[in-house]
Amino acid sequence: MNISLYDISVWVLPVVIAITFHEAAHGFVAHRLGDDTAWQLGRVSFNPLKHIDPFGTLILPAVLLFAHSPFLFGYAKPVPVNFRKLNHPKLDMVWVALAGPATNIILAIAAALAFHAVPLVPADAAKWTADNLKNAFLINIVLAIFNMMPIPPLDGGRVAVGLLPRPLAIPLARLEPYGMLILIGLLILLPVIGQQVGLNLDVISTILGILTGYVRNALLLITGNT
C-alpha cells in the first residue's frame, strides 16, 4: 500500500478535528450538567494533544493500515466523567454520551455545506480543500455511527445503560472493562477467523457500512449535495 504525503495531508486534519471535537463535547456537556472532572483536567479543549492516546490514536491504526486489516480501528483518550456528580446521573449520562456523536454529525453537515464554497478557493488549493472536506464528511459520519454501537465504553453503550431498566442496565454496564476487547474481537479477529473457515463473519463492518451509506445520503440531500 503506497501512502503519499498528499494522502496523509488530506486525512490527518479531518481525523484530528473529528476526534478533538468529539471528546471536547463530552467534557463540555458533562461540565454543563454538573461534573467538572474533565474541566478541571483541561480536557474541555480543542487542543488535540489533550485527547490523543499514543497507542489507540496513532500506533493501532498505523499497524492495522500497514497490515492491510479489513477494518481500521482506533480511539482517543476517553474524557473522564464522574457520573455520580451529574445533576441527574442516569439521564445526564445519556446526554453526555450523545454529545460526541452529535458533534460529529454537526461537523459532517458543516463539511458538506462548506463544499459549496470550493469553487471560490484558488485553483491550486481547490483539490486539497475538496479532499479534506470529503474526508471530514465521511470520517465524522463513521465516527458517529461507530460510537453509537451499544457496547460500553462506546457512547451507544452508555446511552443504552442510561435508558434501559436497571435489571438490564447493570449487566451491560459491567461489560465496560472488556468493551475494547469485545470490539477488537468483533471487528478484527472474527473476520480473520471467518476467512480461515470460508465464512463471511465480517457482519459488524457490513452493518456499519450500510448505516454509513444511509446517513451519508441523507446528509447529502439535506445539504444540497446530491
pLDDT computed for residue 218 by the predictor: 96
Question: Per-residue pLDDT tens for 13-58?
Answer: 888 889 889 999 999 999 999 999 999 988 888 888 888 888 777 7
Give backbone dihedrals phi and psi of 80, rounded to 5 degrees, phi first: -70, 130
pLDDT computed for residue 26 by the predictor: 94
Identify whether the C-beta of residue 104 lies closer than 8 Å to the C-beta of residue 111.
no
DSSP type of residue 99 = H
pLDDT computed for residue 4 by the predictor: 77
What residue ranges do the domains of the chain occupy? 5-223
Identify whether the C-beta of residue 147 lies closer than 8 Å to the C-beta of residue 208.
no
Grid look-up 488535540 returns 48
pLDDT computed for residue 69 by the predictor: 58
pLDDT computed for residue 103 by the predictor: 96
Low-confidence ranges of the chain (pLDDT < 50): none
What residues are annotated to the active site?
Answer: 23
* 98 Cβ contact partners less than 8 Å away, ≥ 6 residues apart: 155, 159
pLDDT computed for residue 32 by the predictor: 95
